[in-house]
Amino acid sequence: MLVEIRFHGRGGQGAVTAANILASAAVLEGKYAQAFPYFGAERRGAPVVAFARVSDEPIETHSQIENPDIVVVLDPKLFELANVTAGLKEGGVIVANHAERPPVEGNYKIYCVDATKIALDMGLVVSGWPVVNTVMLGALAKATRIVKTESVVQAIKERFPGRLGEKNAEAALVAAERVHEC
């Protein structure tokens, strides 16, 4: 099993951190993983893309992911600003920070969670921006089962020790409860 994931976010939302935490969660389960960013304009709010691979076997590929199995969209506006489905495999999965079905054409399985609301409700805000990366990881784990939600929670707590980690882990669990196919 080799699963390739592309994260779409905006600068400051934590897409790169999400890819890294996902890789850590996979390693906690004895899997192999990679995580890496693609940087264009490096400024808060600019579109950002990050990638992760998770496998049961060593990963020999080290290139950018062109045809992901899963796309995670951290900001609902990105459905209007970027082609988030570019290269997504037929029948692939989209996990979206969206209150309802996003405007997507194609044969994809789509899961939605209002990650922005969860982040705001839990006080996960930096400089006025809701930080949804850990929220989306909870939704991703539950929707796709590529890693266990418990592994995501543990990886979050290792990345962010103390109260910050506890709050982010709790947000991931809330998202896992609320994610649904849309």
Domains of the chain, residue spans: 2-181
| CATH architecture for the domain at 2-181 | 3-Layer(aba) Sandwich (3.40)
The closest alpha carbon to 93, from 138, 141, 143, belongs to 143
Question: Is there a contact between 63 and 51 (Cβ–Cβ < 8 Å)?
Answer: no
Region of poorest pLDDT, from 4-8, 81-85, 91-95:
81-85
Q: Which pair of structure tokens corresponds to residue 106?
A: 């194609």
Mean pLDDT of 82-111: 95
Give the model's pLDDT for residue 55: 98
Sheet holding 70-73, edge to edge: 32-38, 47-55, 2-10, 70-73, 93-97, 109-113, 180-181
Q: What is the pTM of this model?
A: 0.94
Residue 59 has pLDDT above 70, yes or no: yes
Residue 168: which pLDDT band, with cuts at 50, 70 and 90?
very high
Give the model's pLDDT for residue 45: 63
Cα–Cα distance measured from residue 132 to residue 55, given in angstroms and rounded to the nearest whole number: 25
Give the model's pLDDT for residue 40: 58
